[in-house]
């Protein structure tokens, strides 16, 4: 049985606790998001995947969404090249049914439910944790499908560590990033900035002539983290991530003129900003009581314009939040976490909403027992939403150690999602009488350390959705749908001598229970494989990702073909301070699409990038 590796830290003085929390962000075998505290990955009940900064450097992903395609049970359905709006489906649930955090701060747009993950620069990220399965008993609304938490860059150790990265590639892609981190026993900091530009691709085929240009993308990102310890029992810190820029896109539907009843082409673009600011105070109030207060603010700003007309719109959402959590080590085997959440959403834009703000208050409690014969986890959360009143969610899990290398986990969890402001108040296309979406999930996991070089994690699960929101006649949302999602996931990590392989496999059956149709844009089978080898100062790697066919619509009339993508990568450490990297994505130049659009009465697929390449150098001089 794997006892909580970090549980004893709750009884240590805070400077060691704070240092361990920062160091934990660099470790692959710990998890923070499941219960909002550092614990061993093997001890948590949540099915999870972790990418450290070392993984990001090795895999060389072009974006956060590119990284997520490697998670079993997670599918990404973009609508064009870099910067395009992606659909992110965790265990068959839609994007708005999964919670996205940056350093503990919610970043989703309160109008659309989109989190802007396509706009976050991987150069500013230290770690990504993905939880699969509902965590509403911990986080409340939105966490039906799972939780994605992104942690910004942190210091690597004492002293100063500067870094510079320059990259150039296909489609006139240029990337620059500059950073500095460091600290001592009391103070740690990281400061970074980056600029990412590409001319992009033409994301549509048959369409208006104005859509024939390439859709450029430009992103400026800034990251700051700073923490300081006061005495032996207190620490305070701040984390900031800001990404802003411009993303061009095609509009094959055109601009409709109500006078002439004709549609005209456009050259639309979005000026975007996604930012999060979080501060915290950590306190070791006694040997058994650790308390943490987090205060956060996020902004998701979206201004759409057109180069060929005066058309435009503004959708800006702002969120403030406060979390207070207390972790009590009752004894060697029993731990209790309890706390309170508060957040408020505000909307500002060119569209008048009947309501433009709402708050949510919540209290949560979770007990964990770790024994030799079994372990348990029981949690409950009560949310009081300004519009929807009280919502209670439960979760429970039982872990049975079959032997020292094999664990069996049984779990049950509930979830809910409050409708967005667009769902409720968008003029002519909303329904203020909507109820929250609700879910119940059942899961069986088997985790096995097959050998010293091989680990297998598998899950069988079922999720039942009710009061699901669909857009019916006249594009008016209604609570009429129910869905059933059955699935299986497998993750296998295997070392073959000097070779390292990671295999992810998922099979799902996501169905609308009323019609029997497969939910739109969900492939039934997905597979990802990464293979890497290190040769002293050289490294090589390959990635293969495959998806089966899916449907673009709920009626299952428009079929999207399956596809497989192959990528190669390599690096050379010319010295301790200088490293060169190269990668080729979609090596076989496969044409594929994850979404359709309609033009002149026919359906066509949005284009994705074909074969692309990128060369980069990273300089980390010693000071």
**Tens digit of each residue's pLDDT (9 = 90 or more) over 234-262:** 999 999 999 999 999 999 988 887 777 78
- The DSSP secondary-structure symbol of 56 reads H
Contacts of residue 507, defined as CB under 8 A and 6 or more positions apart, other chains included, come to 487, 488, 524, 525
> What's residue 255's pLDDT?
86
Cβ–Cβ under 8 Å, residues 33 and 129: yes
> What's residue 514's pLDDT?
86
Q: Residue 472: which pLDDT band, with cuts at 50, 70 and 90?
A: low
Asked if the model's pLDDT at residue 13 lies above 90, the reply is: no
Q: Could you give all domains of the chain from N- to C-terminal order, each with its CATH number?
A: 7-154+286-552+561-588 (2.40.170.20)
Q: Residue 481: which pLDDT band, with cuts at 50, 70 and 90?
A: confident
> What's residue 9's pLDDT?
40
Q: Which of these, 58, 113, 57, 106, lies nearest to 86 by C-alpha position?
A: 113
Question: Mind listing the pLDDT tens digit for each residue in 41-88?
Answer: 988 999 999 999 999 999 999 999 999 999 999 999 998 889 998 999
Burial status of residue 282 (CB atoms within 10 A of its CB: 0-12, 13-18, 19 or more): buried
Asked if the model's pLDDT at residue 382 lies above 60, the reply is: yes
Question: Mind listing the pLDDT tens digit for each residue in 566-584?
Answer: 999 999 999 999 999 999 9
**Could you write out the DSSP letters of every residue in 509-566?**
EEEETTT-PBPTT--SEEEEEEEEEEETTEEEEEEEEEE--EESSTTS-SEE--EEEE
> What's residue 405's pLDDT?
94
Q: What is the mean pLDDT of residues 268-292?
A: 95
Q: Which of these, 571, 585, 583, 584, lies nearest to 618 by C-alpha position?
A: 571
Give the number of C-alpha atoms closer than 13 A to the C-alpha of residue 618, restricted to the C-beta side.
16
Contacts of residue 592, defined as CB under 8 A and 6 or more positions apart, other chains included, come to 561, 563, 565, 605, 608
> What's residue 239's pLDDT?
97
C-alpha 24/C-alpha 104 separation (Å) is 15
Asked if the model's pLDDT at residue 451 lies above 70, the reply is: yes
Q: What is the mean pLDDT of residues 110-129?
A: 94
> What's residue 20's pLDDT?
61
C-alpha 152/C-alpha 243 separation (Å) is 12
Asked if the model's pLDDT at residue 15 lies above 50, the reply is: no
Asked if the model's pLDDT at residue 562 lies above 60, the reply is: yes
The residue written with tokens 């986080």 in the block is 139
Mean pLDDT of the chain: 92
- The DSSP secondary-structure symbol of 388 reads T
Q: Residue 24: which pLDDT band, with cuts at 50, 70 and 90?
A: confident
């Amino acid at each position: 049985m794997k006892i909580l590796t970090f549980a004893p830290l709750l009884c240590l003085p805070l400077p060691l606790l704070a240092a361990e929390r920062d160091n934990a962000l660099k470790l692959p075998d710990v998890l923070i998001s499941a219960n909002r505290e550092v614990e061993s990955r093997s001890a948590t009940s949540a099915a999870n995947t972790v990418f450290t900064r070392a993984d990001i450097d090795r895999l060389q992903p072009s974006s956060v969404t590119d990284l997520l395609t490697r998670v079993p049970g997670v599918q990404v359905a973009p609508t064009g090249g870099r910067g395009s709006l992606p659909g992110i489906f965790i265990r068959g649930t839609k994007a708005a049914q999964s919670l996205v955090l940056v350093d503990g701060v919610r970043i989703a747009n309160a109008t659309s439910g989109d989190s802007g993950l396509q706009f976050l620069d991987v150069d500013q990220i230290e770690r990504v944790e993905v939880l699969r399965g509902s965590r509403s008993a911990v986080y409340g609304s939105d966490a039906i499908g799972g939780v994605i938490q992104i942690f910004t860059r942190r210091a690597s150790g004492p002293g100063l560590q500067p870094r510079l990265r320059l990259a150039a590639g296909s489609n006139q892609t240029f990337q620059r990033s500059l950073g500095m981190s460091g600290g001592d026993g009391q103070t740690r900091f990281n400061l970074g900035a980056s600029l990412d530009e590409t001319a992009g691709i033409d994301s549509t085929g048959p369409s208006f002539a104005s859509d024939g240009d390439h859709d450029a993308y430009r992103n400026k990102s800034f990251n700051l983290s700073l923490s300081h310890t006061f005495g032996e029992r207190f620490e305070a810190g701040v984390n900031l991530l800001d990404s802003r820029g411009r993303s061009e896109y095609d509009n094959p539907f055109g601009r409709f003129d109500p006078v002439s009843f004709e549609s005209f082409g456009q050259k639309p673009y979005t000026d975007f900003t996604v930012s999060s600011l979080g501060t915290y105070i950590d306190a070791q109030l006694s040997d058994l009581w650790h308390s943490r207060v987090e205060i956060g603010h996020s902004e998701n700003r979206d201004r759409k314009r057109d180069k060929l007309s005066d058309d435009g719109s503004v959708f800006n959402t702002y969120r403030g939040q406060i979390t207070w959590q207390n972790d009590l080590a009752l004894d060697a085997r029993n731990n209790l976490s309890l706390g309170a959440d508060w957040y408020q959403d505000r909307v500002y834009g060119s569209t008048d909403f009947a309501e433009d703000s709402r708050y949510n208050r919540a209290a949560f409690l979770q007990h964990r027992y770790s024994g030799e014969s079994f372990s348990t986890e029981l949690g409950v959360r009560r949310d009081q939403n300004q519009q929807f009143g009280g919502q209670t969610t439960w979760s429970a899990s039982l872990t049975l150690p079959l032997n020292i290398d094999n664990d069996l986990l049984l779990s049950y969890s509930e979830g809910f999602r409050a409708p967005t402001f667009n769902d409720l108040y968008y003029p002519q296309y909303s329904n203020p009488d909507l109820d929250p979406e609700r879910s119940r999930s059942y899961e069986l996991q088997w985790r096995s350390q097959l050998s010293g070089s091989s680990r297998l994690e598998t899950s069988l699960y079922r999720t039942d959705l009710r009061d699901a929101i669909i857009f019916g006649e006249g594009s008016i949302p209604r609570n009429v749908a129910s869905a059933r999602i059955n699935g299986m996931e497998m993750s296998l990590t295997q070392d073959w001598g000097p070779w390292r392989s990671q295999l992810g496999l998922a099979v799902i059956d996501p169905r609308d229970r009323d019609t029997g149709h497969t939910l739109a844009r969900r492939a039934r089978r997905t597979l990802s494989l990464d293979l890497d080898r290190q040769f002293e100062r050289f490294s090589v790697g390959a990635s293969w990702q495959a998806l089966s066919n899916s449907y673009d619509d709920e009626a299952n009339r428009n079929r999207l073909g399956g596809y497989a993508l192959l990528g190669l990568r390599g690096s050379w450490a010319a010295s301790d301070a200088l490293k060169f990297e190269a990668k080729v994505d979609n090596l076989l130049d496969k044409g594929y699409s994850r979404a359709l659009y309609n033009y002149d009465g026919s359906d066509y697929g949005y284009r994705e990038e074909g074969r692309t390449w990128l060369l980069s150098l990273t300089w980390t001089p010693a000071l």
